[in-house]
Every structure is written in structure tokens, then in C-alpha cells.
Amino acid sequence: MKVSKNFNSVRTLLFNNTSIKQTIFKNTFWMGLAEGITKLLKLVLLIYVAKILGAVGYGKFSFAFAFVGLFTVLTELGVPNIMVREFAREEQKEKDFSSILSLEILLNLGTLILIFISSFLITVNPQIQKVIWILAVYTSLDILNHIFCSFFRARQQMQYEAITKIIQVLILVGAGFFILFHFPSVLNLSYGYLFANFVALIFILLIFFLKYGCLKIKWNITVWKKYLSMSWPLALVGFLAVICAQTDSVMMGYWNQIAQTGWYNAAYRIAGATVIPAGLISLSFYPVLSKIFRESKEKLQKVWNSQMEMMIFLSLPIIVGGIILAPKIINFIYDTSYQPSIMAFQILIIMAGISIFSSPFQQILIVSDQQKKLFWVTLGGAVINVVLNLFLIPKYSLYGAAVATVITSILVSFLFFIFVSKFTSIQLLNLRFFLNLIIVLFSSIIMYLVISSPKIYSLNVLFSVFIGFFVYSIVFLGLRFILKRINYFNQYIYEK
């Protein structure tokens, strides 16, 4: 009887939505599980891709992926994000899902045609052209998966998205390693990616059918116009964000810096992996923030403060630890042929920390129906990024691309901060914010002193990372505990 009761309690905790805190925990758990497994296994696969295919082969694959990525926004036009927001606020709007799905199918078909035509303009290499075509179909299937996952997010039932992602990555990694060890080539690897997404799409369609009944597709132009009228700022933002993220690899590939593209993406993948925890937290907070936006400004501020504190906790130690341990990290993951990736990683880890810190600002603008402001911020960032890449890549190659990325991140984060303070109800700078920032800064300094000491630095990089995180966490939690014991701090800073 007791076992049954415990089982029901666990089931309620992980599958039902009973409160704001429990829902955030449940969604964070499932997305953490899925993203942790997905990102880790994909990272391991790409490490072996870099090792087995070499910098040139990995450069070709990264170049093709980056080029296809430039067109990704055309397959969504920002509709999924708006769909999550609208469905989370009013459940009756879910009747529009069938029409939204038909819109996404049309957008995917049009984008595939555009990528096929453009592939002949970006490269004359027939192998890279074929890889681009295959990855274009892979991305198209991934977008269709995403639209169903967005429906589950709106329902705050992220366990279904998590299960789909885990199945997808297991198939991808299994197929990928089989190809790398038996039929190693960039083209064959692309087919492995395509196969994994095809199976994942079938699985998510099955889940949708079992949970919500027969899938219908409606061609309702009125619904299309309604959602596109709300999503076009996000579509433009997405397009500009893709330019910021992919233009460096595309430019290096276009200028035939294929090996440099491989080194750069080897560093970028590791730096990008450090952003995973922040992404999981943001995914879990987004539907909750959307739901309470119209309920209470006080509740909105409180939930947003919690998210911001988590981002501050994560951002600075990632920068400090990444810069110090960069040589050990790159040498541990890759081989000596990837030495040029070390400095690129040290630069890009700064971008990762800034992105983590600024993610709540971007999210609250969308929640507050200020997505148009995102366009102007991202436009400025995209223009600066492209201009800097045009000047820096020819002279400094991958290091110039990394510096351009960091400068762009700083500019965009500053503009986000300004726009949130002016156009939302969120109060940014308060005593609680500064005290948490000071705690994080002091904890990071202690962590730096520990991991830079010869005895700790000489250990295996995994032990160095673990010790650094442990020391940082202990100092951080200790300072928080001490400050919370002070009556003034407890009354005015952690007041519930």
C-alpha cells in the first residue's frame, strides 16, 4: 500500500501539473533529462566525426549544416513561439493547431526548393551540394517535430517532447557510429541524420494520435494571417539570429577555409554545450511566465527573478572556468590537430556566458508582447556581426569570427537590458540583484584560485571541472546562507 502511494506521488510529480513550482520542476526534469542525453550524445558523436573525418571533413559537414541553417527561419516564421504563448493563455485556441500545421507544411516545401536552388550558388563541390540537400530534408522533418513539441509545451506536458528527443538521438547516434566505423563519409553521415528524424516524426505523430485523437489538417487562411501577423517580428528576429549564428561558418566555407571551419565549429560545439542548462531552465519558465503575465505583476516579477538568479549563478563561472581550462578541454576531447581550436574556445566561452545571462531579457520581451522590439535589437546585432566578419575573417580567420561573435553578444545583451527596462513591468536593478551578483563574483574568484593551482590544474580535466564546480557551489550556497540569516537581508531581499 505504501509502495503504491509512493508510486502515485512520483507519477503525480512527474506527469501532472498541480502548481507553478511543481510544473516548473516537472518540465525542467523532463527537458533536463532529454536535453542532457541529447546534447551529450550528439556532442560525443560530433567529437568522433571530427576525429574520424578530420578537420576538412568536419569542416564540410559544418559548412553544409550552417548553410541550411540560414534558411531554417523560413520554415517556421516564428509561429511555434507565438503558438505556445497563445495556447498557454487560452486553451480553446488549440483548435487553430490544424491550420498552423498546414501552414508549416507549405513553408517547409517552399524552403526546400529555395535551398536546392541556392546550393548551386554557394559551392561548386558536388559532394557538399548533396550533403546540403540531405540536411535540408533532415531540417524540414525536424521543424515538423518542433511544431508538435510546441503544442506539448503549451500544454506544459514536456515529457512527450523529452521521450521523442531521446528516441531520436539514440537512433541518430547509433546510425552515426555505425556509419563512421564502417562507411565513413560526410554524405553517409548526412543520411544517418535524415533517418533519425524520419523515425522521430513517426513516433511523435503516434503520441499525438494516442493522446489527442486523429490529426486533422485544415487550410484556413484567416488563421494563417492571424498568427503570421503576430509572429513576423519573431520571424525577422529568428532570421537575424541565424545570420549571427551561421554567417561565420558560411563565410569561411565560401572563402574555402574548410579546415578553419572545422576547428571553429569544434570549439563552438563545446562552448554551446555549456549553454544547455540555461536553455532547459528557459524552456520550463516560458509557458509559466506566459500564463501568469495577465494574472499578477507581482507574481510575474517573482518568477522572473528566480529565473534571473539561476542565469547569474551559471554565467560567470562558465566563463572563468572555460578560459582557464580551455587547453585541457580541447586536448581531452579532440587530438593535437585541433590545437587552433583552443584560443577560439577561450573567446567563444565569453559569448556563452553572456548568452546565458541575457536569455531572461529576451524571453520576457516575448511574454510581454514586445516581440517587435526583439527585431530592432537583433537587427543591430546581425548588421554588426556581418560587418565584423567581413573585416575580421579574411585577416584572422576563425579567431576573427569568434571575436565578432563576442562583440555582437555584448551589444545585443546591452540593448535587451535597455528594452526590458523601458517596455516591460519588470524591475531589473534592485538590491537583491546586486547582492546575488556580488556572491557569484566572489564565488567565481575562489573557484579560479582553486582550479588554477598546479595541483588541481594537473589533474584530469573532468576532475578539475568537478572540483571547480563543487568549490563554487559550496562558497555560493554558504554566502547565501549567511546573508539570509541577516534580518535585513531576509526581510527585504528574500521576502516572499
End-to-end CA distance of the chain: 37
pLDDT at position 389, please?
92
Identify the CA nearest to 470 among candidates 436, 438, 437, 443: 443
What's the domain range around 362?
A: 18-428
The answer as to whether 3 is a domain residue is no
| Weakest-pLDDT range from 9-18, 80-89, 132-141 | 9-18
Phi, psi (5° rounding) for residue 88?
Answer: -65, -35
As to burial, measured by CB atoms within 10 angstroms (0-12 exposed, 13-18 middle, 19+ buried), residue 486 is exposed
- pLDDT category, 96, cuts 50, 70, 90? confident
- pLDDT category, 387, cuts 50, 70, 90? very high
pLDDT at position 424, please?
83
Indicate whether 6 pLDDT > 70: no
The answer as to whether 192 is a domain residue is yes
CA distance 491 to 496: 9
Report pLDDT digits (tens) over 29-79: 776 777 778 878 888 888 888 888 888 888 888 888 888 888 877 777 777
The answer as to whether 186 is a domain residue is yes
The answer as to whether 166 is a domain residue is yes
Across 381-398, average pLDDT: 90
pLDDT at position 261, please?
86
pLDDT at position 48, please?
87
Report pLDDT digits (tens) over 147-193: 887 777 776 667 777 887 888 888 889 889 999 988 888 889 999 98
The answer as to whether 495 is a domain residue is no
CA distance 413 to 196: 35
In this structure, are residues 95 and 218 in contact, taking their beta carbons and an 8 Å threshold? no
- pLDDT category, 388, cuts 50, 70, 90? very high
Across 361-366, average pLDDT: 84
pLDDT at position 9, please?
57
In this structure, are residues 432 and 312 in contact, taking their beta carbons and an 8 Å threshold? no
Indicate whether 346 pLDDT > 70: yes
pLDDT at position 422, please?
86
pLDDT at position 156, please?
67
The answer as to whether 364 is a domain residue is yes
Q: Mean pLDDT over all residues of the chain?
A: 82
Amino acid at 335: D
- pLDDT category, 10, cuts 50, 70, 90? low
Indicate whether 450 pLDDT > 90: yes
pLDDT at position 24, please?
66
Indicate whether 326 pLDDT > 90: yes
pLDDT at position 14, please?
60
pLDDT at position 445, please?
94
Query: Which phi-psi region, left, alpha or beta, contains residue 247 (left: φ > 0; alpha: ψ -120 to 50)?
Result: alpha
Of 345 and 35, the one with more pLDDT: 345
In this structure, are residues 189 and 179 in contact, taking their beta carbons and an 8 Å threshold? yes
- pLDDT category, 494, cuts 50, 70, 90? very low
Read off the pTM.
0.71
Indicate whether 20 pLDDT > 70: no
- How many other C-beta atoms lie within 10 A of the C-beta of residue 146? 18
pLDDT at position 488, please?
47
| Weakest-pLDDT range from 208-222, 328-342, 385-399, 437-451 | 208-222
| % the chain with pLDDT above 70 | 89
The answer as to whether 386 is a domain residue is yes
pLDDT at position 399, please?
94
Number of domains in the chain: 1
The answer as to whether 455 is a domain residue is no
Indicate whether 244 pLDDT > 60: yes
| Weakest-pLDDT range from 263-272, 302-311, 316-325, 429-438 | 429-438
Say which residue the cell 480553446 belongs to. Answer: 92
- pLDDT category, 255, cuts 50, 70, 90? confident
